[in-house]
Structure 1
């Protein structure tokens, strides 16, 4: 299915999917923090996405992945690439970073994703970098700097860098997914991406020695609850909703999740995870969210102007 065909969806479902991403994904940072307390991060993420992918495929596969709808070799190649970028590079590294970061801090760093998406788009299309984009990038960079080294900060710099790199991977994967050849049904794509990503995460986990650090008897109830929440709410529901929204709504609209998620994550971290909100989190988070809002709103305005010009034939 072409990008144009995937973008013609209308009705309430894409918006319901986006709202689900706003709030469900905001909660997953707390779930990751709990799960990686006693489960090695890459293995945890691998189990999470492999199980979730198999569940989704079992539901939608019999009807939407057989016969004429059977995924082609090109489709499978795309799902492996997306799974590697989004789930191994993106979520896997996020899980590693959260072994040493609070959920709210990690969520705010991941909030830079829309900025990276704009830069990836610019590199891919070789478009001119606008002053507004440069200003937003500077503002977002300043926000990360304040978050990591601002007043009252006790943040692990290495962990913060890992999460920042994860954000870049997620941005690259999201941009690639918008033009990649994929199965006609978004949830078939979702399931295959999660299965591919889950397998790759398990391979990376084993290769990095995580299996030797896994002690099934030491896994806490809190970590198990976190893992179950990540499988069913975060992956089956949340990731499926994200892929659907990303395939059916404009990119600048989908990107709004990036400044809703951190707010949800910080609030839940304080209320449930008993995390402390310091001045660096408020100041740095405010700068990052401001930069994201500037990027998203700027792209939305440009889209409206271009459509108006197209209607006028100019």
Structure 2
């Protein structure tokens, strides 16, 4: 029989009070940087094949690792649920963002996707889980920040890009709300199954629509694909599914409000994009909205 300190250590390491903030930090920073990563990868790779290759590599690696570790494969029902969720989150959600980033800047793509928590609140409400009053205030503040941020640089240059980003946000939100109430594969196997299923759909659509893999991709584009697969998919997507399962939807989706300022910041530092007064004001309001949502979640937990 183990002594108390040894027995408690794994519990502390797996304590949601520790892991949820760590996972949220990963979502805020890593997913904020992936918008610029996608922009770099698009220099050589077409959008849907880019997403398909990214998720295929990450999914095969993770699935193989888990099976070698002895984890059982998903049941047929879990495969079906993972396929539907993966198609919404990764197929439509990420594939359309890649498509849109051929037409709009990385920072603006992140700004448009920040409408996602509002759709998530709506779809969760359809299942009887409406945001509470404080969460609603936080959502409203966050969306006001998105509007202010968007005043600094318009999406009007590409109606198609703007529409793709809106549909991406809606699909991601519905997939998140739907999957919370379904039997999904356990733990990281859920991540692997969703990526495998989504990658097949993305690759089929990409090739069917006439996309081709580049014969001579640039080193920067290929390194961006590797970064997206390892950090954006394996690490951050696993973190998202963990938070989605253990926290309220408003907190789990709060990353979408933090990603725009992070994406704009990366664009400024690494790609020479410019930041105006609207951008700075919008970022400040967005972060305030996330703070309100976080505090509302903590108060509800007590």
With the length of structure 1 as denominator, give the TM-score of the two structures: 0.79
Asked if 1:10 corresponds to 2:15, the answer is yes
Corresponding residue for residue 228 of structure 1: 226
- Whether contact under 8 Å (2:121, 2:131) holds in the other structure is no
Other-structure match for 2:206: 205
Residue in structure 1 matched with residue 56 of structure 2 by the alignment: 50
Question: In the alignment, which residue of structure 1 is the partner of 2:3?
Answer: none
- The 5 A counterparts of 1:13-28 are 13-28=19-34
Whether 1:95 aligns to 2:98 is: yes
Displacement of 1:62 = 2.8
Q: Does 1:104 align with 2:107?
A: yes
* Preserved contact between residue 45 and residue 91 of structure 1 (Cα < 8 Å): yes
Contact between 2:104 and 2:158, CA under 8 Å: does it hold in 1?
A: no
After TM superposition, the structure 1 = structure 2 runs for residues 126-165 of structure 1, keeping only pairs within 5 Å, are 133=136, 136=139, 140=143, 150=151, 153=154, 156-158=157-159, 159-165=161-167
- Residue 37 (structure 1) shift: 2.1
CA contact 2:122–2:130 (8 Å) conserved in 1 = no
Q: Write the mapping of 1:244-283 to structure 2, written as runs, cut at 5 A.
A: 244-282=242-280
Question: CA shift at 1:173, angstroms?
Answer: 1.1
- 1:111–1:292 contact (8 Å) kept in structure 2: no
Post-superposition CA distance 1:184-205 (Å, at most 9, x none): 3x10111010010111111111
Find the aligned partners of 2:198 and 2:209 in 1 and give their Cα distance: 16
Instruction: Measure how far apart 1:151 and its partner are.
Output: 5.3
The 1:128/1:24 distance shift into structure 2, 3 A limit, reads closer
Provide the C-alpha distance between the structure 2 equivalents of 1:170 and 1:96, rounded to a whole number of angstroms: 15
* Alpha-carbon distance in 2 for matches of 1:128, 1:46: 34
Show CA shifts across 1:106-152 (max 9, x none). 11222222111101112233869979849955973x6656555x356
Closer/same/farther in 2, CA of residues 100 and 61 from structure 1, 3 Å limit: same
Q: Distance in 1 between matches of 2:76 and 2:232?
A: 28
Following superposition, the deviation at residue 176 of structure 1 comes to 1.6
Query: Does the CA-based 8 Å contact 1:147-1:153 persist in structure 2?
Result: no
Shift of 1:41: 0.4
Rounded Cα–Cα distance in structure 2 between residues aligned with 1:276 and 1:94: 21
CA distance in 2, matches of 1:151, 1:24: 24
2:274 partner SS: coil
Q: CA, structure 1 residues 152+267, in 2 after alignment: closer, same or farther (shift >3 Å)? A: closer
Comparing 195-204 and 171-180, the one that deviates more: 171-180
Asked if structure 2 preserves the Cα contact closer than 8 Å seen for 1:115 and 1:295, the reply is no
2:126 matched residue in structure 1? 123
Closer/same/farther in 2, CA of residues 203 and 285 from structure 1, 3 Å limit? farther
Structure 2 spans left out of the alignment, 5+ residues: 1-13
Report if the CA contact (8 A) 1:122-1:129 is conserved: no
- Identify if the C-alpha distance between structure 1 residues 258 and 62 changes in structure 2 by more than 3 Å, giving closer, same or farther: same
Shift of 1:259: 2.7
Corresponding residue number in structure 1 for 2:76: 73
